[in-house]
Amino acid sequence: MKIKETPLKDCYIIEPTIFEDDRGYFYEKFNEQKFEELTGMNGHFVQDNVSKSSYGVLRGIHLQKGEHAQAKLVSCLEGKVWDVAVDLRKDSPTFGKWFGVELTPENKLQLYVPRGFGHGFSVLSEKAIFAYKCDNFYHKEAEGSVIWNDPDLNIDWKLPEEAIVLSEKDEKLPTFAENNF
């Protein structure tokens, strides 16, 4: 397992060491001990979620706040997604900055999104199956969000705007400026 730093403090790309031969491949998807040793971050996860989406679906930008904040380890099991993390920690040197990475089953990359970050992804393939591990349980009352097309964040979702498909809830999220992070 290799850990690559992103431009955002405490946000990492995890690249597995892959062992391939004529039978196929093998890799360790996650190792809590190695992760903690390489990053100094807690790698204990308590909840796994999976979503299936079609081309153009954009999910986000979501987060859990306060004592219910969640760190996430995300990956794409089928298809291709553009995954985005936004640092929403006021005391962070990268507050208000975002980072994106393409996740596919072929590149086998994962993104570690720490507590206090917003997270979202857009589907670039015909369909995608997306998985995320969370280090805390979901609580509806702790939800936070930022609208996908926030002018201050100016995120490139790698899709034409007319192709973007949002949930009713995600169409009405507050802007970055309207939030009190």
Which two tokens mark 68?
Answer: 């219910």
Distance CA 107, CA 123 (A): 16
Q: Catalytic amino acids? A: 62, 132
Q: What is the dihedral of CA 133, 30, 87, 105, to 10 degrees?
A: -80
Q: How many residues does the chain have?
A: 181
The 8-class DSSP code of residue 57 comes to B
> Is the distance from CB of 128 to CB of 38 less than 8 angstroms?
no
Q: Which residues is 121 bridged to in the sheet?
A: 59, 83
